[in-house]
Amino acid sequence: MNLLFRYLNHWTGPDPRRWAPMLAVYYLTYRCSFRCPYCSDGQGIPYYRLAPDELPGEQAAAVLAAIRKNCSYLVLTGGEPTLYEALPLVLEQAAKLRFRELIFTTNGYEITPVLPQIASAVTSLVFSLDTLDETKADAWHGYGVGSLRRILANIAEASALPGRRFQIVISSVVTPGNIEDLYSVYDYARQRGFLFAACPQLVGVKAHGDLAGSERYRRFYDFLISEKRGGAAIHGTALYLEHMRDIRKFRCHPLTMLVVSPLGEVFYPCLEQGKPAGNLLDEDDLEAIRARGRSLYGDPPNCDNRCHSACALGFGLIFEHPWSMASEAALQLRNALRGFGRPSVAEVTSSSCSNPTG
**pLDDT for 297 beyond 50:** yes
Mean pLDDT of the chain: 85
- CA dist 112 and 171 (Å) reads 18
pLDDT given for residue 334 in this prediction: 57
Rank 45-49, 98-102, 325-329 by mean pLDDT and report only the highest: 98-102
pLDDT given for residue 340 in this prediction: 46
- CA dist 303 and 297 (Å) reads 15
pLDDT given for residue 17 in this prediction: 54
- CA dist 327 and 238 (Å) reads 9
In terms of DSSP bridges, do strands 202-203 and 206-207 run parallel, antiparallel, or are they unpaired? antiparallel
Domain borders along the chain are 3-226+253-300
Counting other chains too, the contacts that 163-166 makes at CB distance below 8 Å and 24 or more residues apart are 163/119, 164/119, 165/119, 165/123, 166/118, 166/119, 166/122, 166/123, 166/124, 166/125
Counting other chains too, the contacts that 149-155 makes at CB distance below 8 Å and 24 or more residues apart are 150/109, 151/107, 151/108, 151/109, 151/127, 154/108, 154/109, 154/111, 154/112, 155/108, 155/127, 155/129
- CA dist 37 and 59 (Å) reads 32
220-236 tens-digit pLDDT: 999 999 999 998 999 98
- CA dist 133 and 119 (Å) reads 29
- CA dist 350 and 319 (Å) reads 12
Burial degree of 23 (CB within 10 A; 0-12, 13-18, 19+): buried
Classify 3-226+253-300 by CATH class. alpha beta
**pLDDT for 335 beyond 60:** no
Sorting pLDDT into bands at 50, 70 and 90, what band is 347?
very low
pLDDT given for residue 56 in this prediction: 97
Sorting pLDDT into bands at 50, 70 and 90, what band is 6?
low
Q: Cα dihedral sign for 86, 89, 92, 97?
A: negative
pLDDT given for residue 298 in this prediction: 82
Q: Across residues 165-192, what is the average pLDDT?
A: 97
Listed residue (32, 48, 118, 119) closest to 76, CA to CA:
118
Reported pTM: 0.89
pLDDT given for residue 251 in this prediction: 75
